[in-house]
Structure 1
Amino acid sequence: MNVLVINAGSSSLKYQLLDTKSGNVYAKGNCERIGIDGSFVGHEENGGEKQKLEVALPDHKTAIKHVFEILGQAGFDTDKIEGIGHRVVQGGWYFPESKVVTDETLGWVREVAPLAPLHNYAEADVIEICREMFPSIGNVIVADTSFHYGIPEKAHRYALPRDVVDKLHIRKYGAHGTSHRYVWRKTNEFLKGDVHKLVSCHLGSGASLSAIQDGKDMDTTMGLTPLDGLIMGTRCGTIDPATVCYLQREGGYSVDEVDTMMNKQGGMLALSGVSSDTRDIEEAANNGDENCQLAMEMFYYRTSQLIAEMAQSLHGFDTMVFTAGIGENSSSMRLGVAKELEWLGVKIDEEKNSVRSGEPRVISTDDSAVKVLVVPTNEELMIALDVEELLDK
């Protein structure tokens, strides 16, 4: 099935057209700076050279029109696109699994939007636009939170008054669920079923861990929002919640200012004072920048701490996987985290770890107590497979 996967943000829209049978990506691209001056579309076909088209993108509807025009010029008219999959950041309590778009399910995306206001409203708008413009094509919602929704109550419930928690649907929702689900599936396939307790490490600008037992998620590090858990590019990760009250009461910061500080001014950016990109931070650390060295040490320390926490939720683990931008590409980060876990018997083969590849691979030593792998994630394929399954029904 030819499926168009769309990932809409507040001012961006990424797309990928792929074949679910072969996994071939026919075309992909991104619409950037929607509603902002200097907007453009970046597009590439069949792995070829990326083209940058400077076009006015006043809103998401215009962006969608450009995407379909570009795909049409590449030979993919609407009659050749058999389904559209929409990545939705927050599925709330309505999406324990992916669902076909109807008036009701689209309404649910908007209803839970206060939990992810920068994403869900834009995603709902794009779904509505696709339905209006191309009524013959089926649409499917794939929520990032779905994979985590079934974690045990002891893992997802917060110790706040029950009436407040239940009324406002406050709980751990997590994120990156589509990636973690794909990583489990691919790892299980690669190891021919010889994996039972897996800690999946999705490490990128946004980062989270997932504890997976025989395909079922048991816990994850992100919470009500993606702010919780690991230190990330610009997110502070887990801190004492009273810090929020202290900043407002003693620092005089507003709610919005604290929100911005913790989501956009914190994390590796705040620690390093150089960049939110670990490539820049690693380079500066290697050149003697003490703040960047501390940032990397804290990243290794905090990540290993939470890996141990995920392992506890599984009562032990036999496999650990690195994935996403940092996890797939930074050998020094993988080594730094693994060294923190040596007390658990985790051992990395430094020669295997230094190899760059787009394929799954084992990087642990033969005598490591835990098998360690690098598995490139493919959220778009996972979304497309859900589209195929649901629309075929």
Structure 2
Amino acid sequence: MNVLVINAGSSSLKYQLLDTKTREVYAKGNCERIGIDGSFVGHEERGGEKKKLEVALPDHKTAVKYVFQILDEAGFDTAKIEGIGHRVVQGGWYFPESKVVTDETLGWVREVAPLAPLHNYAEADVIQICREMFPSIGNVIVADTSFHYNIPEKAWRYALPRDVVDKLHIRKYGAHGTSHRYIWRTTSQFLNGDVHKLVSCHLGSGASLAAIQDGHDMDTTMGLTPLDGLIMGTRCGTIDPATVCYLVREGGYTIDEVDTMMNKQSGLLALSGVSSDSRDIEAGAEKGDKNCQMALDMFYYRTSQLIAEMAQSMHGFDTMAFSAGIGENSAEMRLGVAKELEWLGVKIDEKANEVRSDEPRVISTPDSKVKVLVVPTNEEYMIALDVEELLSK
């Protein structure tokens, strides 16, 4: 099936056109700075050179129109697109699995938007645009939170008053669920089913872990929002929740200022004082920057801590897989995390760890008690498979 996958943000729209049977990616790109001066589209076809096209994109509707236009101009018959898959950040309590877009399901995306206001509203708008512009093409909602929705209650429930929790739908929702689902699927296929308790490590500028036992999610590190859990590029991760109260009461910050601080000014950026990009931080540490080295040490420490926490939810683990921007590309980060876990019998083959590849690979030693893999993620393919399954019905 030819599927167009769309991932809309507040001022961006990423797209990928692919064939679910052959896995060929015909084209992909990103519309950036939508509604802002200097908007442009980065576009590439069949793995070729990426082109930067400066084009006015005053709104998401214009961006969607331009995506179809650029595909047509590149020689792709957009009439042969058989389905559109939409990544939705927050599915709330309505999306324990992916669903076909209807008036009702689209309304649900808007209803739960207060849990992810920067994402869901834009995503809902783009879904509506696609329905209006291309009424003959089916649309499917694939929520990042779906994979985590059925974790055990002891893992998702917060110890807050039940009336408050029930009224406001407060619970652990997690994120990156589509990626974690893909990592499990690929790891299981690669190891011919010889994996039962996997800690999936999606480590990028946004980062989370998931404990997956025989394909079922048992726990994850992100919470009500993507702020919880690991130290990330600009997010602080888990801290004492009273820190928010203290900053407001004693520091004089507003709630919005604290929200911005914790989501956009913290994490590796704040620790290093250099950058939110791990490559810049690793380079700084090599030059002797103590703040950069501390940022790395804290990232290794916190990640290994939470890997052990995920393992506890399954009463052990036999496999762990690194993925996403940092997990796939930083041998130094992988080694640093693995060394923190040596006490659990995790051993890395340092030569295998240095190999770069777009394919899944084992990087642990034969005598490691836990198999360690690098598994490049592919959320777009996972979304396309959901589109194929649901629209085929």
Please say whether Structure 1 and Structure 2 have the same fold, judged by a TM-score greater than 0.5. yes
Query: 1:77: Cα distance to partner?
Result: 3.0
CA shift, 1:114, in A, is 0.2
The offset of 1:78, in angstroms, is 2.9
What does residue 198 of structure 2 align with? 198
Unaligned runs of 5+ in 1: none
Instruction: Report how far residue 76 of structure 1 moved.
Output: 2.3
What SS does the corresponding residue of 2:195 show, helix, strand or coil?
Answer: coil
- Name 2:217's counterpart in structure 1: 217
Q: Distance in 1 between matches of 2:7 and 2:222?
A: 20
AA of the residue aligned to 1:216: H
Task: Specify the alignment match of 1:70 in structure 2.
Answer: 70
Give the alignment of 1:136-215 within 5 angstroms: 136-215=136-215
Counterpart of 2:89 in structure 1 is 89
| Alpha-carbon distance between aligned partners in 2 of 1:249 and 1:58, rounded to the nearest angstrom | 40
How many residues are paired up? 393
**2:65 match: secondary structure:** helix
Aligned residue type for 2:344: L
Q: Which residue of 2 aligns with 1:99?
A: 99
Alignment partner, residue 121 of structure 1:
121
Per-residue displacement from partner, 1:6-25 (whole Å, max 9, x unpaired)? 00000000000000001100
Q: Deviations over 1:360-379 (max 9, x none)?
A: 00000000000000000000
Structure 2 counterpart of 1:9, one-letter code: G
Helix, strand or coil for the counterpart of 2:355? coil
Could you give the per-residue CA deviations for residues 144-192 of structure 1, whole angstroms, max 9, x where no partner exists?
Answer: 0000000000000000000000110000000000000000000000000
Unaligned runs of 5+ in 2: none
What SS class does the counterpart of residue 49 from structure 1 fall into? coil
In 1, Cα distance between equivalents of 2:378 and 2:240: 34
**What's the offset of the Cα at 1:40?**
0.2
Q: Give the percent of matched residue pairs that are identical in Structure 1 and Structure 2.
A: 88
Secondary structure of the 1:296 match is helix
AA aligned to 1:10 is: S
Letter in structure 1 aligned against 2:276: S
What is the alpha-carbon distance in structure 2 between the residues aligned to residue 389 and residue 203 of structure 1?
A: 28
Q: Secondary structure at the match of 1:6?
A: strand
- 1:312-361 CA distances to partner (integer Å, 9 max, x unpaired)? 00100000000000000000000000000000000000000000000000
Report what 1:364 is aligned to: 364
1:273 has 2:273 as partner: yes
Q: TM-score, normalised by structure 2?
A: 1.00
* Counterpart for residue 254 of structure 2: 254
Q: Deviation digits for residues 283-317 of structure 1, max 9, x if unmatched?
A: 00011000000000000000000000000001000
SS at match of 1:159: coil
- Deviation sequence 1:77-113 (CA, Å, 0-9, x none): 3311000000000000000000000000000000000
* Partners of 2:102 and 2:251 in 1: CA distance: 46
Runs (4+) of structure 1 moved beyond 4 Å?
A: none
Equivalent residue, structure 1, for 2:19: 19
> How far 1:228 moved relative to its partner?
0.0
TM-score by length of 1: 1.00
Question: In structure 1, what is the equivalent of residue 79 of structure 2?
Answer: 79
The offset of 1:74, in angstroms, is: 1.8
- Are 2:302 and 1:288 aligned? no
Amino acid at match of 2:121: Y
The residue number in structure 2 matching 1:241 is 241
SS of the aligned residue for 1:336 comes to helix
The residue identity in structure 1 corresponding to 2:90 is: Q
Q: Indicate the SS of the match to 2:108.
A: helix
Q: What per-residue deviation string (whole Å, max 9, x for no partner) do you get for residues 216-236 of structure 1?
A: 000000000000000000000
Partner residue of 2:39? 39
Aligned to 1:320: 320
Letter in 1 for 2:286: N
Deviates more, 1:184-193 or 1:67-76: 67-76
Please name the residue that 1:3 is paired with: 3
Q: Distance in 1 between matches of 2:79 and 2:36?
A: 32
| Cα distance in structure 1, aligned partners of 2:10 and 2:391 | 27
Q: Deviations over 1:27-55 (max 9, x none)?
A: 00000000100000110001111111101
Q: For 1:73 and 1:278, how far apart are their aligned partners in 2?
A: 37
Greater shift in the superposed pair: 319-328 or 71-80:
71-80
**Matches of 2:255 and 2:34, distance apart in 1:** 26
Cα distance in 2 for residues equivalent to 1:336 and 1:301: 9
CA offset digits 1:235-271 (Å, max 9, x no partner) = 0000000000000000000010000000000000000
Report SS of the residue matched to 1:194.
Answer: coil
Distance 1:163 1:125 in 2: 32
Q: Aligned equivalents of 1:328 and 1:76: distance in 2?
A: 31
SS in 2 for 1:85: strand
Amino acid in the other structure paired with 1:120 = N
3-state DSSP of counterpart to 1:366: coil
